[in-house]
């Protein structure tokens, strides 16, 4: 999914919630990675988090 404004269907959100629930229970690393996003969402600052895309590398001429 490339469009961040596109909404997910109910079943897509349900499946994602199910997967995240179990991954958070099973994997401490996953839970630690999700926690900052969850706190930023609650504070209304989700757009301030890094996007996860690598920054462009400068070209040397």
Answer whether 49's CB lies under 8 Å from 37's CB: yes
Alpha-carbon gap, residue 19 to 34, rounded angstroms = 13
pLDDT of amino acid 1: 46
Alpha-carbon gap, residue 61 to 22, rounded angstroms = 49
pLDDT of amino acid 47: 81
* CA dist 2 → 8, 11, 14, 39 (Å): 12, 19, 20, 24
**Is the pLDDT assigned to residue 11 strictly greater than 90?**
yes
**Digit-coded pLDDT (tens) for 19-61:** 999 999 999 999 998 898 889 888 888 788 777 665 556 666 6
H/E run at residue 40: helix 28-42
Answer whether 24's CB lies under 8 Å from 30's CB: yes
pLDDT of amino acid 3: 60
pLDDT of amino acid 55: 55
């Amino acid at each position: 999914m490339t469009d961040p404004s596109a909404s997910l269907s109910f079943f897509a959100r349900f499946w994602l919630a199910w997967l995240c629930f179990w991954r958070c229970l099973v994997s401490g690393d996953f839970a630690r990675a999700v926690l900052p996003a969850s706190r930023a969402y609650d504070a209304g600052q989700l757009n301030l988090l890094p996007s996860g895309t690598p920054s462009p590398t400068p070209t040397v001429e």
